[in-house]
Amino acid sequence: MRGAAAIVGVADAASPTGELELTGRALEAAVIAEALADAGLTLDDVDGVCHSTSSMGLAEYLGIHPRFTDSTMTGGSSYEVHAEHAAAAIAAGLCDVVISVYASTPRSDRRRGRPPMRPNLMGPNPMLEWEAPYGLRMPMGPYAMAANRHMAEFGTTSEQLAQIAVSTRDWAALNPRARYREPITVDDVLASPMQCSPLHLLDCCLVTDGAGAFVMTSAARARDLSRPPVLVLGAGTCHDHSMISQMPDLTTTPGVVSGRNAFAMAGIGPGDVDVLMGYDSFTITALLHLEDLGFCAKGEGGAFVEDGRTGPGGSLPMNTNGGGLSYTHPGAYGMFLLVEAVRQLRGECGDRQVADAEIAVAHGSGMVLSCMSTVVLGTEAAA
């Protein structure tokens, strides 16, 4: 599968206000059209559809008849899983051009009194029976548990977690579409309202409207298209729990497995990565990624980030668009990881461009640190 498929088109929609005008299928169709135009393709070329709740419904709306379909839903990591499945399907000859899309407008829906865009099709939620009665606040409660355990076991501090938010905001300052661009300090993070100890408001992701899409095809076909192909060099997925109370170790995510497998397929190590797009639902989420993907040893994530290493000018550029903490977060952020990774490898990021980027990693986190999916992307030079 290594290098057999490439992402050839991307698009995302976000705004400094956090709100978008379009919603529902119209918003999905708009970003799909933009991603296809980016690739130099049309709907007539598409024979594979990925959607996190209903690939059949989306295909019907678009008027296409795909021969590959995928409605995998793993929360925020769904779109890395879609990229993995699409690459495998293309490599196996099951289809030729695959689209995946995500759109959600929780911020404007709430203001306008609109119902959610789609129902929750994930089935019964055992958290409601076994965890909610004990007062676990969602969604930040499970992440606060992980942060508390990491602090107790390794001595991680709130100041170290806050530095992740500061570095991410520094990237957002370079992105004109980011929800928040004003610089913040560690003290600002610590002074923001406590949400679920030890997580302050600025340790937590945004609630915004947003949408994104990617288009994938074979590496051979990609070379005849208008944009430089971004090859899928490796991919891996692993989940080990649904409820946070069943997580085997609150300080270690299944990203240890997904990352190891994706890196092995790609033939790279952490030192080869130029850009890391690591899902940052909360600052602790990003810190755990750094450890579990091997950028530092377990327990050393706090010390790793405290000098601004993941911000502009740092040795490991992470979440260069401003991340879920400062750019946008409409509920499932994994699509935006892929879009930014592709743009960085194509050299299209303007003031926030990482020089000479050839390998980028999109690492999605789904549900409550439950399902991790890692995609290694590279330029043709890196292949």
Residue 127: pLDDT band (50, 70, 90) is confident
**Average pLDDT value over all residues in the chain:** 95
pLDDT tens profile 86-126:
999 999 999 999 999 999 999 998 887 776 554 444 456 78
Burial environment of residue 49 by CB neighbours within 10 A (0 to 12, 13 to 18, 19 or more): buried
Average pLDDT for residues 32-56, to the nearest whole number?
Answer: 97
Evaluate if residue 203 carries a pLDDT over 90.
Answer: yes
Q: Given a cut of 90, is residue 19 above it in pLDDT?
A: yes
Please report the DSSP string for 51-116 in residue order.
ESS-HHHHHHHHT---SEEE---BTBTHHHHHHHHHHHHHHTTS-SEEEEEEEE-HHHHHHHTPPP
Q: Stretch 152-174: mean pLDDT, rounded?
A: 98
Reply yes or no on whether 102 is catalytic. no
Q: What is the mean pLDDT of residues 79-90?
A: 98
Residue 269's CB is within 10 A of a number of other CB atoms, namely 11
pLDDT digits (tens, 9 = 90+) for 271-299: 999 999 999 999 999 999 999 999 999 99
pLDDT in tens, 213-231: 999 999 999 999 989 999 9
The pTM assigned to this predicted structure is 0.96
Q: Where are the domains of the chain?
A: 5-111+205-378
79 is catalytic: no
Is 21 a residue whose pLDDT tops 70? yes
pLDDT digits (tens, 9 = 90+) for 359-369: 999 999 999 99
Residue 127's nearest CA partner among 141, 147, 115 is 141
- Catalytic annotation, pick one of 79, 180, 327, 333: 327
In terms of DSSP bridges, do strands 210-218 and 359-366 run parallel, antiparallel, or are they unpaired?
unpaired
pLDDT at 328 over 50: yes
Tokens standing for residue 382: 């890196």
Cα within 13 Å of Cα(124), Cβ side: 3
Confidence of residue 170 (pLDDT cuts 50, 70, 90): very high
Q: Does domain 5-111+205-378 match CATH 3.40.47.10?
A: yes
CB 175, CB 256: distance < 8 Å: no
**pLDDT on residue 204:** 98
Identified catalytic residue from 79, 102, 279, 333: 279
Question: Cis before residue 139, ω within 30 degrees of 0?
Answer: yes
Say how far apart CA 339 and CA 12 lie, in whole Å. Answer: 7
Q: ∠100-9-2 over CA atoms, to 5°?
A: 80
Q: What is the pLDDT of residues 248-257, one digit of tens each?
A: 999 999 999 9
What CA–CA distance (Å, rounded) separates 33 from 50?
A: 15
- Our measurement of the distance from residue 104's CA atom to the centroid of its chain's CA atoms, rounded to an integer in Å, reads 14
